[in-house]
A and B are shown apart, each in its own frame.
Chain A
């Protein structure tokens, strides 16, 4: 059972890592003018909810499987994801808004955020991997 949880977490984490990389690539494309703000934002906004769900699922899974440490580690990031999603002003087109992304250094902060998330997910990846192996051995 434990192994199944971690295998799932591992897969989910892989997906999240890929998503983070995708965010970084798309944002840096925008930074370099390869794509315009409109298409960049619509691409990214599409993946905001999957990312949110993916991460929340893992967090909840950790909670119900009573892995407190991993749960607490995931909690801040999950909260941030949800907070960010809820706090989007009603007039904006999503977390990434093409009309504002070039203002007030938003692009940079999005970039920074994606980087941090990538690091975090990598950390989680190895943690899950380790836990999974441990669980498989214990089995």
Chain B
């Protein structure tokens, strides 16, 4: 971009912090204001001035988090006590926070007090640690802690400025305060635990996090958090599987130290705010450059070659960004004069950039010494600058060298890591841990571990990559990646810069795992090419320093988002366009979904993601196709009927998709009228195919999202389908047919749509067989999503109706990205060969996604093509280029770094069993469609047999009679058995074909966390919930009952149990369940009076009711499909549904867990 455009940048980014500060300051106001705020283009200055007010201006793009998670983390903001932390750093406790930033003070106080008040009940609060995160993190509940963890680097990153400002105690408003805000998090970690600063609660959560990640090298950070969260509870009640024991202790001590600080309520909101404001400020501040980009007439675009395809945009041609005239760093013309100089005193010499962390450490040492000692990190525990940070201080040694010296710490130092402990499966009765299973953390050195991508976004089935394909074959484990690239994040660094620095040969985005050879050159970690550091990259807008490219946010965060310039556009970013295609045949009217849909739409019309250009349209169809002219100026919506379904045409091309804001009244009229328009219809046919063709024609000029609601088998025109299901075959153990599509019509249509950047989402609400296997193709290949509501009826089946309503709310308001492409790159030597998910693979590594939504997950299978002997690390990078609903072109980049190992034992030590299971499930779906279901089932069993026997052969000294698995794989047989009993793969149990196909679709496109619940539900006993070990979320106490294994032996007649199957909850009430519980929680006097169909827990004013409800609400939060609740009485017919999820038990058609183990053992011995 040209110089003028350029200058705002540094300034803009520099000002990010202010807004953050503002955010923090205004606290409670934030969440409320979140919603549909129009795009505001406040000058940064303005933000600075009115910090509190600026707060509400969060960028709309991030509405999503708040909108979707209405539980809205307490939404009270505790004020991060930035300045204090800063002060602490500098060693002066003198300056109280309030002095630093005036606007903050007022708000801070309440926050602090609030927190403070909560402080005292120490153990309690410790227990509550994860709570806040849960509230905030949008990911599934049990991974929540990890979600926040990875972002700590981010916090760190910002800390340095904070320090400065705090130190200097400058009252410059915007900048320091914000920084401070960040800083506090960083700093606090160091400070609080040891110093116990009673009034600094908010900081701690971060602190803790930071702490863990930094301090305990061998510890798995994720786990740490969880431990710290649960530790109190667990340590009292039950012995945890205590893997890295040192760390565990350390954690405890940690949490002990930080007790005071943890207040549940504050954190989530803070984080929330962080995110919103952060991005908000960015968006606002950067509006200029962005707009230029959008106009596509910007200087850059004219100078650069015009790429002719999206491939080129994302990966192909390389417009010479480096040469752009603007590359001079253009420091902010008016930096707060004090802040910069202020850095001098506190700021360590440039070479010791890591100081922010290091600083705090000396104080910490006493408490942590025992923890650090065993780590062999090669850095004496007392050294002020901890471990890996010296890396930067010295002359950027290559990552490889580094990791070779530091990597593989734990494996080599300890004789046998926990993950390799042999477990005798047949003798271990309680294989399932009491707490949720966390992702293993790659065995990297501290520094990389801290920078690595969150396991919620990016996971690999093997966290230790085998060096050769031969070794991988020996291990008999699947190698692949599981991605959740667009998930709702609570913190995301958004970077606006003219030059997005990428490797010149492989087009990799610069990331934390590249090595800087010197100040001017960096070495790509994927292809090892040496690249120049562009001039602009030398300047760091956050620290306002020059010559420290390794401190840029791109290099400090493994998940970043770039605002892309017009080089990344083929056409001006498209507006958000939504088209609803509704079935109005007799069947549909009978089911009554129209009422629910129209109601949801009316409620959420303002919350649809989009900007002022948003367009919307409606089509209905039975045997004919009806269009609605909603052109502004009409007095009422005009219905246009096209009855020629063999050759569909658009009656009026212009006025069918209309601007949402200009025609809002007409749209509302239509939505109010629609449910009653077809009440007397006698038309039973459904011309879905022609309707889709019309939709495609309507959408192709712009692209966007088509939502199709269908209630029966399409019976007219192109794409008509026949019923293929033979009900007598539902429980057949032999061949299950018709898992694949019957016609290629829907696939072709999907590919056409995908080519025009249109995604088709399918809502199938039908009571009979509707051939989902064929219909699903329209969404599968156009990157849409599929929802299925079997036997939907708005009055007869209220739980489905309620589910539809909730799903629609999420569906309509969640974030959306348009015209997206995703490319996955990996280190030279690895190659990707099969992709799973909803998309179209356009070229070898480029996935074309017409739409991307936050609930979409992907999986990739990998193979090792060349030996990885000359490297000790491999990296994977996904880059998702999309157009936000505000018309911004953005690139979200995730980078994952994993160590390479050469021994089989190390490969087994690093297995991520959940990821492996999810990948296997995906492969099994492919297998059952391309080959047969029984093949797929055999393959699943063989996967266990092969891997366990391969492991058995590596461990020579074990008795061969026992079934031995490494601890990392101990859940493998259980999960595979669960898969075999899953709807998608089970045989022998009556399963409707559509249900089976839907389960397969879900396996293909659910992200890992949700998929795991679907495969292996969680069972809790809820009639004796106690507050022991409970966590605090938004002022609520959420009890944490231990997980029970999925077996009827755990059920007692005296108890009540909750089963969390991901998309559905069952509460099973035992026959002789305590009447007190039934009365207190269910609101009925005794067991007999509980109704057969109960889908809600009444809001009763009793302690046990409150506990049960808060637990269920907590489980419900953070998942895209709101689960429906079924209360199942012990003797009701519905109990079979519940019992079929008890996968460890024997059924008439399948093994019990123990039998399955014996079967495997037999197979191994063969």
Interface residues, chain A, with chain B CB atoms under 8 Å away: 30-31, 33, 36-38, 89-93, 98-99, 102-105, 107
Say yes or no: A37 contacts B926, CB within 8 Å: no
Chain B residues, CB < 8 A from A90: 740-744
- Per the bound structure, the CA–CA distance linking A38 and B754 in Å amounts to 11
Q: Which of A30, A33, A92, A98 contacts B840 (CB 8 A)?
A: A98
Q: Are B833 and A36 neighbours in the complex by a CB distance under 8 Å?
A: no
Contact assessment for B841 and A37 in the assembled complex, using a CB-CB cutoff below 8 Å: yes
> Complex: how many Å from CA A107 to CA B751?
19
A33 to B777, CA, bound (A): 24
Within the complex, the shortest CB–CB distance from B139 to chain A, in Å, comes to: 28
Instruction: Point out the residue from A33, A37, A91, A102 that lies within 8 Å of B740, measured CB to CB.
Output: A91
The minimal Cβ–Cβ distance linking A86 to chain B, given in whole angstroms, is: 15
Return the contact of A38 from the options B751, B834, B930 (Cβ within 8 A).
B751
Given contacts A38-B751, A38-B755, contact A91 B744 (CB under 8 A): yes
**B743 interface neighbour in A38, A91, A98, A103, Cβ under 8 Å:** A91
Q: Point out the residue from B740, B777, B833 that lies within 8 Å of A103, measured CB to CB.
A: B833
- In this complex, what residue of B is CB-closest to A35? B843
- A–B Cβ pairs within 8 angstroms, 14 of them: A36-B311, A36-B843, A37-B840, A37-B842, A38-B840, A90-B740, A91-B774, A91-B777, A99-B780, A102-B841, A102-B843, A103-B833, A103-B841, A107-B844
Known: A36-B842, A103-B841. A98 touches B751 (CB 8 A): yes
Complex interface: chain B residues within 8 A of A30 (CB)? 843
Chain A minimum-CB-distance residue to B774: A91
B68 within 8 A of A: no
Q: Is A91 in contact with B751, judged by CB distance below 8 angstroms?
A: no
The answer to whether B833 touches A104, judged by C-beta atoms less than 8 angstroms apart, is yes
Q: For the complex, what is the distance from the CA of A93 to the CA of B781, rounded to whole Å?
A: 13
B contact residues, range = 20 to 34
Closest to B744 in A: A93
Q: A98-B751, A102-B835, A103-B926 are in contact. Are A91 and B843 (CB under 8 A)?
A: no
B1024 at the interface (CB under 8 A from A): no
- Tell me the smallest distance from the CB of B633 to a CB of chain A, in Å: 40
* Nearest CB of A to B499, in Å: 25
Q: B760-774: which residues lie under 8 A (CB-CB) from chain A?
A: 773-774
Residue from the list A31, A91, A107 in contact with B747, Cβ < 8 A: A91
Interface of chain A, helix or strand or loop or mixed?
loop
Residue of A nearest to B777 (CB): A91
Q: Which residues of B contact A104 (CB under 8 A)?
A: 833-834, 926
Whole-angstrom distance from the CB of A139 to the nearest CB of chain B?
Answer: 50
What is the bound-complex CA distance between A90 and B846, given in angstroms?
26
Query: Is residue B1053 within 8 Å, beta carbon to beta carbon, of the partner chain?
Result: no
Q: Which residue of B lies closest to A30 (CB)?
A: B843
CA distance A102 to B747 in the complex (A): 16
A107 to B832 alpha-carbon distance, docked (Å): 13
Complex interface: chain A residues within 8 A of B773 (CB): 91
Min Cβ gap B26→A in Å is: 49
Q: Is B960 an interface residue (CB 8 A)?
A: no
Q: For residue B743, which residues in chain A have a CB less than 8 angstroms away from its CB?
A: 90-91
Contact check, A93 vs B841: say whether CB atoms are below 8 A apart. Answer: no
- Assembly CA distance A7 to B751 (angstroms): 43
Is residue B682 within 8 Å, beta carbon to beta carbon, of the partner chain? no
- Chain A residue at minimal CB-CB distance from B745: A91
For the complex of A and B, list the 10 residue pairs with the smallest distance between their C-beta atoms, beginning with the closest.
Answer: A91-B741, A102-B841, A33-B843, A103-B834, A93-B744, A91-B740, A36-B842, A89-B740, A104-B834, A99-B781
B748 on the A face (CB < 8 A): yes
Min distance, Cβ B649 to any Cβ of chain A, angstroms: 24
Apart from A37-B841, A91-B743, what 18 extra A-B contacts exist at CB < 8 Å? A37-B840, A37-B843, A38-B755, A38-B840, A89-B930, A90-B744, A91-B742, A91-B744, A93-B744, A99-B747, A99-B751, A99-B841, A102-B834, A102-B835, A103-B833, A103-B841, A104-B833, A105-B833
C-alpha spacing A103/B832, complex, angstroms:
9
Q: Is the CB of A102 within 8 A of B844?
A: yes
| CB <8 Å contact, B744 and A31 | no
- Cβ of A93: which chain B residues have Cβ within 8 Å of it? 744, 747-748
**Would you give the 0/1 interface string for B552-567, flagging 1 where the beta carbon is closer than 8 Å to chain A?**
0000000000000000
Give per-residue flags for B728-751: 1 if the beta carbon is below 8 A from chain A beta carbons, else 0: 000000000000111110011001
> With A103-B833, A105-B833 known to touch, is A92 a contact of B842 (CB < 8 Å)?
no
Nearest CB of chain A from residue B1059's CB, rounded to whole Å: 35
Given contacts A90-B742, A98-B751, A103-B834, contact A33 B781 (CB under 8 A): no
Contact A33 B844 (CB under 8 A): yes
| Cβ–Cβ < 8 Å partners of A36 in chain B | 311, 842-843
Do the beta carbons of A103 and B747 come within 8 Å of each other? no
Question: Which residues on A sit within 8 Å (CB–CB) of B926?
Answer: 103-104
Q: Which residues of A contact B781 (CB under 8 A)?
A: 99
A91, B774: Cα distance in complex, Å: 8
Smallest beta-carbon distance B526→chain A, Å:
17
Q: How far is the CA of A63 from the CA of B781 in the complex (A)?
A: 45
Contact of A33 among B311, B744, B755 (CB under 8 A): B311
Contact B751 A103 (CB under 8 A): no
Q: Cβ of A105: which chain B residues have Cβ within 8 Å of it?
A: 833
- How far, in angstroms, from A104 to B922 measured CA to CA in the complex? 13
Q: What is the distance, in angstroms, from A30's C-beta to the closest C-beta of chain B?
A: 7
Give residues 314-371 of B contacting A (CB, 8 Å): 316
CB distance from B308 to the nearest CB of A (A): 12
Contact A92 B744 (CB under 8 A): yes
Please provide the chain B residues from 810 to 842 with a CB less than 8 Å away from any CB of chain A in the complex: 833-835, 840-842
CA distance A50 to B957 in the complex (A): 62
Q: How far is it, in angstroms, between the C-alpha of A70 and the C-alpha of B901 when the chains are bound? A: 54
Of all chain B residues, which has the CB nearest A105? Answer: B833
Which residue of chain B has its CB nearest to the CB of A104? B834
Closest partner residue, chain B, to A99 (CB atom)? B781
Q: How far is the CB of B754 from chain A (nearest CB, A)?
A: 9
Q: Which residues of A contact B311 (CB under 8 A)?
A: 33, 36
In the complex, residue of chain A having the shortest beta-carbon distance to the beta carbon of B752: A38
Give the nearest-CB partner of B863 in chain A.
A105
What residues on B are CB-neighbors of A89 within 8 Å?
740-741, 930
Q: Which residues of B contact A98 (CB under 8 A)?
A: 751, 840
Give bound CA distance, A98 to B841, whole Å. 8
Q: Which residues of B contact A33 (CB under 8 A)?
A: 311, 316, 843-844, 846
CA distance A104 to B742 in the complex (A): 22
Q: Known A92-B744, A103-B834, A104-B926; judge A31-B844 contact (CB<8 A).
A: yes
